[in-house]
Amino acid sequence: MITKPNHVPEHLALLATSALDPFLTEELLRGEEVHGGIDLAKVVEELPEDDARWSVEPIRSLVEDAMYEFRKDRTGADAWLAPRLHATLRLTRREAADKRLWNHIGLAVAPDYVAWRHLSEPTAKSPGRRIAAERFRGPADRQCFSRLWWAAELFRNGPDYEPVVAACGNQDLIHTVLRMELIDHRPTAQALVRLLQNGLVAKGREVTGLSAAINAAGATLIYDVLAPDEPRDPARLRDWIAEAGSAPPVGRRSLPDGPDEDPVPEKSVVALTDYFAELFETAPIRGRKIAD
């Protein structure tokens, strides 16, 4: 297994995919050898060093703790790391949509974590271990770190990250749901977590079937009418981001607090949870028979 590069930058930067690709060597994708870091540092676009958010040390500290704490349960690291990464790397959604930032974190800051988390096990069809290139520079729902940040952003309930832990504890849910446009509707996200927590939806087939039913129903039903949400106050998010420089390191044993935004209206969550439960009863789930 690879270790971190010899040269790890002190600050985050932007790394274009075209500049990243030459460093995605076969040796790296097999988890055998990592780049040295010096040459990679020559092709990045620097971010302002006076912004405390771009410090690399808090991110390195998090991933190293995750690799130690979850050394016997790699997938379990997702639920632990997602809320802490989000609370550490305080971004606007526009900033988080820039793939170049995640390219840099994945390849320059913590390629050892990407390898540790996503190096596949040998199979009969693929006897060699390998890391999918998209874990370094893929879309938001696949790249190693962006998928966790966005899961935390979409599933948090105001400042409460507990729903994020529940969502990221189910790989099928985050793999499927992060691709749904409707997940940006906060009551939808919280209703899905409720279904997960009450045990109605758990397995991959169930998540896939319910997601398809929700998308199909959303084409004819406006969820904002059934489950309205309160408009967010952008000033609260700006204040939370501005406090990044004075915020203490996120706790390892207890969850941090997210932006001080109002939680999702409980009536809306209950309404959608009940509606989705009804959808699930008739959703086509492979291997399940539905009674007449």
pLDDT class of 284 with cuts at 50, 70, 90: low
Instruction: Copy the structure tokens of residue 89.
Output: 């790397």
Lowest-pLDDT range of 7-21, 106-120, 196-210: 196-210
**Taking the model in full, what pTM does it have?**
0.94
Q: Measure the CA–CA gap between 94 and 84, rounded to whole angstroms.
A: 20
Which amino acid, one-letter code, is at 236? R
C-alpha 244/C-alpha 67 separation (Å) is 24
CA separation, residue 219 to residues 23, 214, 279 (Å)? 43, 9, 14
In this predicted structure, the answer to whether residue 243 has a pLDDT above a threshold of 70 is yes
Q: pLDDT of 52-107, one tens digit each? A: 999 999 999 999 999 999 999 999 999 999 999 999 999 999 999 999 999 999 99
pLDDT at res. 124: 63
Which residue is it, tokens 């998928």?
Answer: 147
CA-based max dimension of the chain: 66
- Minimum mean pLDDT range among 140-149, 180-189, 236-245, 262-271: 180-189
> Which stretches does DSSP call E strand in the chain?
13-14, 45-46
Q: In this structure, which long-range contacts are made by residues 193-202, counting pairs with CB atoms below 8 Å and at least 24 apart in sequence?
A: 193/155, 193/163, 193/166, 193/167, 194/269, 194/273, 195/273, 195/276, 195/277, 195/280, 196/166, 196/167, 196/170, 197/166, 200/277, 200/280, 201/173, 201/280, 202/170
pLDDT for 205 equals 82
67/73 Cα distance (integer angstroms): 9
Residue-wise pLDDT tens digits, 8-62:
999 999 999 999 999 999 999 999 999 999 999 999 999 998 999 999 999 999 9
Q: What is the band of 183 on the pLDDT scale with cuts at 50, 70, 90?
A: confident
